[in-house]
Amino acid sequence: MNINNISSISTTYTVGEAQTDPNHGKLDVKSVKQGADVLPTVSRKTSFLSKIKSSPNGYKEKSPELVKEKASQERQQRSRLSSIESACAKSFDDLPDDIKVSGMKQHFLSYAASIMDREFSLICSQSENGKQSVEEHKSAIRIDLIKWLSFDLSNKDPKEIWASSANKSHIENGLRNTVDSLKSPGLERATKEERRKAQQFDYQALTDVSNKLLDKFNQLSDTPLRSSDNQVISSRSVERQVYKLLDKYIGN
């Protein structure tokens, strides 16, 4: 199955910055709820110029230069994103189908876990009652999610499945090597902070591209991975299910 020509993506969350970071792949759940308000520069609809207009300081003489610089940055990011999409699609297409199938369920559990972790953190930060509610229902929410993803529970305890599969996406980590091998024009003389931001953008795009590739693969499969309620699983259906479970157990 050749899916090199994947459609463009819209990044809606943030990931960790380095492989050694235990939170790598953990997205900002507020961004999932807020949508366009937190989209990255490459897809943000609010223009940079409008931000300058609405700022307390109003226009300054350097505003045109800032706008030009921002536009240049956006072009570079779009070009980089296109390179990442193409390279990852080729690497993914080279994987045997059985690796894609076995890694897909684990990837989506990892993706769901990242949403949960950030949402739990947000709830806990808001009130003591919220913190208590998270502690009380966290395990049940995880178990329900594992069941919804149709994991085989005949020989494994849900806690074991969570511990072994919910941390990092194996497929995403494999594609990371592809992204890391891509040269970034202009970074030869970049500062440490500029390199950090460039890497953050790459890994941000990587999670989205991984989702997109697996969504497409599952959609085109003759025997797609389905949830316990018979949905063809995708990154979007995973997001919806996570929030459905949060509403069920914790509520507003």
pLDDT string in tens for the chain (252-residue length): 544 444 444 444 434 333 444 444 444 444 444 444 444 444 444 455 555 455 555 545 557 877 777 787 788 888 889 999 999 999 999 999 999 998 999 999 999 999 999 999 999 999 999 999 999 999 999 999 999 999 988 888 898 999 988 888 999 999 999 999 888 776 777 788 888 888 888 988 999 999 999 999 999 999 999 999 999 999 999 999 999 999 999 986
Residue 20 lies in a domain: no
Residue 178 lies in a domain: yes
Residue 237 lies in a domain: yes
Residue 181 lies in a domain: yes
In 3D space, the residue among 110, 134, 92, 145 whose CA is nearest the CA of residue 249 turns out to be 134
Residue 10 lies in a domain: no
Confidence at residue 194, expressed as pLDDT on a 0 to 100 scale = 83
Confidence at residue 39, expressed as pLDDT on a 0 to 100 scale = 45
Confidence at residue 58, expressed as pLDDT on a 0 to 100 scale = 54
Exposed, middle or buried, 145 (CB in 10 Å: 0-12/13-18/19+)? Answer: buried
Residue 114 lies in a domain: yes
Number of domains forming the structure of the chain: 1
Domain hosting 236: range is 96-249
Residue 30 lies in a domain: no
Q: Tokens 């090199």 identify what position? A: 4
Confidence at residue 222, expressed as pLDDT on a 0 to 100 scale = 94
Cβ contact 213:92 at 8 Å = yes
Tokens for 29, please give them: 């759940």
Confidence at residue 50, expressed as pLDDT on a 0 to 100 scale = 57
